[in-house]
Amino acid sequence: MEQRPQWLKWAVELQALAQAGLYYGHDKYDFERYERVREIAAEMAAERTDLPLEKVKELFCNETGYQTPKLDTRAAIFQGEKILLVQENDLRWSLPGGWADVDISVGENTVKEVREEAGLEAATRLVIAIQDRNKHNLPLSAFGICKIFVLCDLIGGSFQPNLETVDSGYFSLDELPPLSTEKVTEDQIRMCFDAYHADHWTTLLD
């Protein structure tokens, strides 16, 4: 996997330091300095990407408090030797999932995403892996993302079109459709198959 370039490491570190300073600081002049450091970090990221500065600020500078990774949960649901995938609006496919909401647990979020994106009711069984997204998915993210893959059992339900997905289906490992690889790769799906087949799976941890 491609490593995060040094300029992006510096920009991320500057943004994290500035965010902590804005949260824990007390002096109004220091706040001005921290705000400027944060702006410089955003300008560095915008300069080297195709994103406009305002979009970078939205993604990069929209939180308060100590900088921590965002959580992305992904559900692995099987029927026989096939895994459930959902088709997104860009017609690529992914495991059902998304950002974890602040007011529910990781398990509850996984079940909610399956319900919203696939129209199915599911029950969590075990955590397959906890991954640093930048070690497995491209393009590299300017902020930290922790991906949590959860093996789930299907309870019932059927697909309903919604704002995020247009279709769903079950696919074998050797017939995967075009994937939304920034969200899930073939290697990550293979990992889910390995967990599904294992008698005693040990959670993988980056």
The amino acid present at 1, given as its one-letter code, is: M
Q: Which of 9-13, 32-36, 73-77, 123-127 has the lowest mean pLDDT?
A: 9-13
CB atoms within 10 A of CB 22: 18
Q: Report the C-alpha gap between 206 and 192 in whole angstroms.
A: 16
- Say how many CA atoms lie within 13 Å of 155 toward its Cβ: 10
The whole-chain average pLDDT of the chain stands at 91
Query: Which pLDDT belongs to residue 11?
Result: 85
- What confidence category does residue 56 fall into, taking pLDDT thresholds of 50, 70 and 90? confident
Element counts in the chain: helices (H) and strands (E): 5, 8
